[in-house]
Structures are given as structure tokens and as C-alpha cells.
Amino acid sequence: MKKIIILLILLVSFTIILECKKHEGKLTIGTFNIEWLGDGTNDNKPRNEEGYKAIAELINEIEPDVLGLQEIENQAALDKVLNYLKGYKGKVLTSGGEQNLGVIYHKDVKINSFSEYTQLAVEQKKTRSGIVLDCKKDNFDWKMMIVHLKSSSFFDKTKEKRESSLEIRGRQGNILNKWIDSVLKSSSEKDLIIVGDFNDNPNNSNSKTLQAISNNKKVKFITENLTSCFNPKWKVIDNILLSKSALKRCKIESLRMYNPKKIFSRNISKNISDHCPIVVDFETLEADND
């Protein structure tokens, strides 16, 4: 019996060591719009506990270190998912009405600051601020912004409304581009990572709302050639944008998207989201370069 117990202890210890080795020197960052994640009271998209648990299972499948979130009603809504996640913390910025930005992060990541970037909220009740984070894992520190830019939705039933939405999103894109230039010029931090629901693709020739950022040689949309996991004819609107310095740490071949419909049954997946999370890995053990 003692031999069996010793073998079990050794097996568990070996498993823990392997798990730690798997994450050593690796950072996983991404974005996920969780479609009207509510707190369970008068929600736009009602979910039961099975729905919250499925979202957590999807996040566990991804194993992110930092995941930018969109469409979170409040902290109570995010807590319903965090209840099923071990080793994670989360915070919601509650200035965006019923669809707020948020973030979850693993205990291995140090978040040194969490602030609101109000300049992106260019139209009251129509647009949202961004979240700015200063983060560090191992030898890699970086500045991160989470965004949710103005959508062009089925509510834009007239030409004027559609043009207005594009104009607003274009303004936000220009503001975001100026923020990038300002940080890279005036700050010692050169590792910038911007994630979120941009509600557009930089290669979209019909709108060009992200053109200023696309033309900025200091940054790159690593997601620009991805297509939606729900329809290969659609270009992604959830994006990851990196500065040149951050790009050097990025394992671009690891860029991936998770389709809930391929992981869960139809009844479960429909309670998760109409967006697919996108993540990418970075190396963290090399000496910091800024």
C-alpha cells in the first residue's frame, strides 16, 4: 500500500512539473467578445449556470494569461464566469452602459495599473472608453489596451446611420493611432499590445475606418488575414495589434481562433457567444528590450 501511495505522489508531482514546464516562458494574450454577458437579471442574452460554466470551460481550453473582454454587463456578470475558473482574476470597466470592457488575467501575470482611456468615447451613449493596462510576466513587460469600437449593426437602417457609424469608428481609429504614436514617442515602453472588437478589418476596402492604424509602420495587425470561424467569407473584426517591439516576442505561428461550435454541442455553444476568441503566444524569458 505504501508503494502505491508513493507512486501516486510521484505521478502527481511529475504531472505538476510537466504542466509548469508547458507554461514556462510562454505568455498567451487574446480577445473575446462574450455577447451580452449578463448578471442573470433581465439579461439581453439569458444564460443558465450551464452557459456560464461553458464559457469558463472554453477559457480553460484557451489557457490565456491575459484575455481582453467585450460586452460584459458588470462585475457580477464576470464573477459568474470566474466562479468556474481557478487561478484567474478579473475586472470590468463600468462606463459603457450594458456592454462594458473587461479583462481576466492569470495569477502569474502582474497587472501594475488599470486605467480608463476616455478619449475613445467620442459619442455619449454610442461609444466606449478603452482600458489601458501595464503588465508583466517573467522578463516581459508591456502596455496593453482593450477596445470595443463603434459597430455598424442592423440598427443602421438608413444610409445616413450607416455613414454615421463609419465616421464615428473612423474617428476612434484615428484617436487610437495618435495614442500609439504618443506612447511610442514619449514613453520608454515600446511593447504595445492592443486587442479587442474593432468592428472592422484593416483590409476592408469598403470602410477604411482603420486605415490610419494600418498605414502606421510602427504597428501591425497580426489578425488582418484571418476569417471568421463561423463563416470563411467573413473577415475577422476581432483583432490583435502589436508594436514592432512586441512583434519580436510574438510566436506568430501560434495565432489561433477557438470555435465554440467545434468544442461543444449546439445547445451549449449557442449560449456562449456569436464571436470566437482569438489568442497568440509570446516569449517571456529573454531579457527585456526596453
Structural domain total, the chain? 1
Whole-number Å distance between alpha carbons of 12 and 23: 17
HSE, side-chain direction, 13 A CA sphere, residue 253: 1
Per-residue pLDDT, 82: 98
User: Is 20 inside a domain boundary?
Assistant: no
CATH number at residue 278: 3.60.10.10
- Segments forming the whole domain that contains residue 87: 26-283
- Whole-number Cα distances in Å, 133 to 110, 116, 142, 184, 248: 10, 9, 8, 15, 20
User: Is 2 inside a domain boundary?
Assistant: no
Per-residue pLDDT, 96: 86
Residue labelled with grid coordinates 470595443: 148
Per-residue pLDDT, 152: 87
Q: What is the pLDDT of residues 25-57, one digit of tens each?
A: 999 999 999 999 999 999 999 999 999 999 999
Q: Give the pTM.
A: 0.92
Per-residue pLDDT, 16: 43
Per-residue pLDDT, 13: 44
Cβ-based burial of 130 (10 A; exposed 0-12, middle 13-18, buried ≥19): buried
pLDDT along the chain (290 residues), means of 10: 59 46 83 98 97 98 98 98 98 94 98 98 95 98 98 80 94 98 97 98 94 98 96 96 98 98 94 97 93
Whole-number Å distance between alpha carbons of 173 and 212: 7
Per-residue pLDDT, 153: 74
Is the distance from CB of 114 to CB of 83 less than 8 angstroms? no
Give the DSSP H/E element, type plus range, for residue 117: strand 110-117
User: Is 232 inside a domain boundary?
Assistant: yes
Beta-carbon count within 10 A of 153 CB: 11
User: Is 156 inside a domain boundary?
Assistant: yes
